[in-house]
A and B are shown apart, each in its own frame.
Chain A
Amino acid sequence: MDPLLILLLVLIGFMVVGSLVAIETRGLLSSVISVGAVGFALSVVFLLLGAPDLAITQVVVEILVLVVLVRVVITRRDETYATSRSTLAVGSVLLVLGILVAVVFWALGASGGAGLQMRPFGNPLLNEIGPASAMAPASTAGEARLGGPASGRGRRADGPAGATAPAEPAPSLPVGADRPETIPKSIGGAYLQEGLKRTHAANYVMGIVLDYRGYDTLGEATVIFVSILGAYAVLRRIGRHSHARDEPDR
């Protein structure tokens, strides 16, 4: 078995256990700390899968959220109490879990291979650049595992990407017949092939996030802005009222 896969399974098991502890524990503080442990394990998973941008973001957001939650939770006086289990809740959870397991088994084709054909793990479609007709799933399995596309700086720089570009196909020739090397099989392949040339960003993730997908990032920034505005608006009322009430004390 692949050691990377074993490590991932260990981390995923740790995350499942941490989530269960976070749900089932009594105190709010230990629950928050368990959620933090799950987040750190998730960042290690991101790092192992070759996505350092996501790993950095996950770690720092986890730290900040943990600090803020601990700060908020400790000053609160309410405690959580164990509530009695209702059979309806337990039954619905078990039902959802059963449906989920069944769907996963069906999707992975575990029962006789009749389900969807998933690609093998660690070999995403965007790693393949080749003729669109001939699928060769096992060709890039080895090199695609580590150092994946998230940090793929210069991975395609030595390929035949510079000479031929699929954005301007020759109008007379049928595409794919005379240039078998130039057709990426997904849009991710096009990003990897064209990204450095078009955006001049050595970090392809930033090239996609801030150039190709600028609209998305603008909407994301708007979401953060509005949510922070909402937090201010909710918390400011408390502050303003008590501030006015406290004024003669100072």
Chain B
Amino acid sequence: MRGMSLIVKNTTRLVAGFIALFGAYIVLYGHVTPGGGFAGGVIVAGALVLVVLAFGERFSREVISHEVVRASDAAGALAFLGVALFGYLAPNAGAFFANFPDWLGTPGNLLSAGTIPISNLAIGVKVGAGLFGVFLALALFRRRGERRLMVPDTGRLDSEAQR
């Protein structure tokens, strides 16, 4: 998959960082404002998808490779499970998914609500990496699969040569 035109690349340079920042804000402030781990993770994945669509396959090979995506997907899922198991360390009655709301901070601040922000972060990493990985699998693997249909003279894909 090649990149797009210069206009798209420059616009992506300007915008993609802000989209990812907004996704991180949605994830981190999920317990204070509407949003949460799932929505923020999807926004971060959308920023990565935008960069890959604009700059082509090279970005996903050099910056965020497929192995990194897979590892962070699994790490997010395990971190969420770890938060759940962390509830066994509750002071009086340890239980699965026990929360520590009085841990630090007051309600309404960023540091509050016990383990909920950590769970949000884990879910955000997990969802973002998972959806970006599915996009990579759909976009890149399919293209590699189609490469044997390559027209020998032009070097383009058969499907592109037909259009």
Contacts of B36 in A (CB 8 A): 53, 57, 203, 205-206, 209
**Which bucket holds chain A's interface residue count?**
35 or more
- How many A-B contacts at CB < 8 Å in the complex? 171
Nearest CB on B from A46, distance (A): 11
Stretch in B9-17, B56-64, B94-102 with 4+ CB within 8 Å of A: B94-102
A75 vs B39: C-alpha distance in the bound complex, in angstroms?
28
Interchain nearest-CB distance for B10 vs A (Å)? 19
Which of A20-28, A65-73, A101-109, A184-192 sits within the interface? A65-73
Chain B contact residues, majority secondary structure:
helix
A197-250 residues with Cβ-Cβ distance < 8 A to B are 198-203, 205-207, 209-211, 214-215, 217-218, 221-222, 224-225, 228, 231-232, 235-236, 238-239, 241-243, 245-246
Q: For window 27-56 of chain B, which residues contact chain A by CB distance below 8 Å?
A: 30-36, 38-39, 42-43, 45-46, 49, 53
Interface residue SS majority, chain A: helix
In angstroms, Cα B162 to Cα A112, docked, is: 63
Quick check: A200 and B101 within 8 Å, CB to CB? yes
Nearest Cβ distance between residue A89 and chain B, in whole angstroms? 31
Q: In chain B, what residue has the closest Cβ to A157?
A: B107
Task: List residues of chain A with CB within 8 A of the CB of B43.
Answer: 60
Residues of B in contact (CB 8 Å), total: 60
| Known A63-B46, A232-B133, A232-B137; contact A221-B144, beta-carbon cutoff 8 A | no
Instruction: Please measure, in the bound complex, the distance between the C-alpha atom of A239 and the C-alpha atom of B106, giving whole angstroms.
Output: 50
Chain B CB within 8 A of A196 CB: yes
Contact sample, A vs B, 11 pairs, CB 8 Å cutoff = A60-B43, A67-B46, A68-B134, A68-B138, A68-B139, A198-B101, A202-B32, A211-B114, A214-B119, A225-B77, A228-B73
